[in-house]
Chain A
């Protein structure tokens, strides 16, 4: 007899559940990544650029605003995915008992966790894509071409948040 399999494509059903919820409150989900870069660019770009002036990096002369724009995207990917697999997943697991309900269906805990990780990466990629687009005018011409190549990478950058989700597995069945 073959051993039971704990992983299958069914994790997509849980991913889909999160998408359904996201679409219900999409305005709230949409507005944060839309406003976040604007606030940062206002605060740092306008606030600091006068103090710092031009920045020399990689042989190029950049305005301070163009210099920090890529960093905003990088931190957005990280914080979005991290928030999703820690706070948001924990609320679903502990307070809403969403995982309890799902575990009474033909899904395994491993599939739920994979779904949460993939979802966090998806959401982070989505948020960062919005930010990237919004902050586009601030990007220097020489870096913007390279930035456009980063869209497909946004999803994978969200994955380092995986360990935080995996650690919840241990606490769940305790």
Chain B
């Protein structure tokens, strides 16, 4: 079956700065695909090339089997984009934002009003339909951006950090809405650096750093492969523990004041640590995608 997105050998250079360096991936129909990476990894640049906002320096992007550089108008008519910045029109009311946006897609007025009503209903914004955009809270603005991205009933939704800066309530509400859309068979490409979000929403994902894809797979597979089953974090590790870890070839990260040990499925490492090395504070928890992310992209600050 034809892939919804097919990216091959994509490059983007800005005056000598390499933002995206040979990225290739594909997104299947009805799949939620994640594009993860630290700040400045090239996620937004990639997404902007996908919806034709930026031209690529090299490589090919095919969406619905069409080339973005040639058939951009047909492609853009069938995608919904939720940008990272708040791009709502502050000169218009909540409802007008949807109606005017529908106009850009040449949706007839009557149809636009009907869809606008349904979307405001779905995103629990009906009571704010005559409010000014600047009066909305962060969560409501984000929901309106999502509603606006769905006004053309897209076959593909592109979400650039859909929950960044939201409080836990709003974040979970956005996730629930996205899950509902997923059940209906929508295809989506999501960038995020919220690992919980990626684990929960994405069927498959890639982790990008320095413009390169570092790894690709399903969230649970990646966790099992790179961070084992469980994690033990030992505060103020003693020399004996360091020796034990190196002689037994245990997967670990030594952060000096803290040691993170990755224990695979069926291992009794947790017990050994508890009995022999845990003099201070030890944390036992399941491995998460965040462990994978930090192991692959390193712990240094980016900016």
Contacts and interface: CB of A to CB of B under 8 A. Distances in A.
Interface of A: 1, 3-4, 10, 13-14, 16-17, 20-21, 24-25, 96-98, 100-108, 173
A97 B85 contact: yes
A13 B71 contact: no
A29 B81 CA distance: 32
A24 B91 contact: yes
A98 B87 contact: yes
B180 to A, nearest CB: 22
Interface string B82-113: 01011111111100100011011110000000
A145 B273 CA distance: 99
A146 to B, nearest CB: 38
B54 A96 contact: no
Interface of B: 51-54, 69-74, 76-77, 79-81, 83, 85-93, 96, 100-101, 103-106, 148-149, 152
A96 B91 contact: yes
Given A17-B100, A21-B91, A96-B89, A104 B105 contact: no
B106 A13 contact: yes
Q: Which 10 A-B pairs have the closest CB atoms?
A: A104-B81, A101-B87, A105-B104, A21-B91, A97-B87, A106-B77, A106-B76, A106-B73, A13-B103, A100-B87
B92 A107 contact: no
A24 B106 CA distance: 22
A102 B106 CA distance: 13
B104 A102 contact: yes
Given A100-B83, A104-B81, A4 B73 contact: yes
Given A1-B70, A10-B106, A101 B92 contact: no
Given A4-B71, A100-B85, A20 B76 contact: no
Contacts of A4: 69-73
Contacts of A97: 83, 85-87
Given A24-B93, A96-B90, A106-B73, 18 more contacts: A10-B104, A13-B104, A13-B106, A17-B89, A17-B100, A17-B103, A24-B96, A98-B87, A98-B91, A100-B87, A101-B88, A103-B52, A104-B76, A104-B79, A104-B83, A104-B149, A107-B104, A108-B72
A98 B103 CA distance: 14
Contacts of B53: 100, 103-104
A24 to B, nearest CB: 7
Contacts of A25: 91
B96 A106 contact: no
Nearest to A100: B87
A101 B87 CA distance: 6
A3 B88 CA distance: 32
Given A106-B73, A106-B77, A20 B83 contact: no
Contacts of A107: 104
Contacts of B89: 17, 21, 96, 98, 101
A97 B152 CA distance: 20
A108 B76 CA distance: 10
19 contacts: A1-B70, A4-B69, A17-B89, A17-B92, A17-B100, A17-B103, A20-B92, A20-B100, A21-B92, A24-B91, A25-B91, A96-B91, A97-B85, A100-B87, A104-B83, A104-B149, A105-B105, A106-B106, A107-B104
A118 B272 CA distance: 75
Contacts of A104: 51, 53, 76, 79-81, 83, 149
B115 to A, nearest CB: 14
A4 B76 CA distance: 13
A107 B75 CA distance: 11
Nearest to B104: A105
A148 to B, nearest CB: 34
Given A4-B73, A100-B83, A101-B83, A106 B105 contact: yes
A158 to B, nearest CB: 21
A123 to B, nearest CB: 14
A19 to B, nearest CB: 10
A105 B76 CA distance: 5
Contacts of B91: 21, 24-25, 96, 98
A103 B54 CA distance: 10
A96 B87 CA distance: 7
A20 B97 CA distance: 10
A130 to B, nearest CB: 21
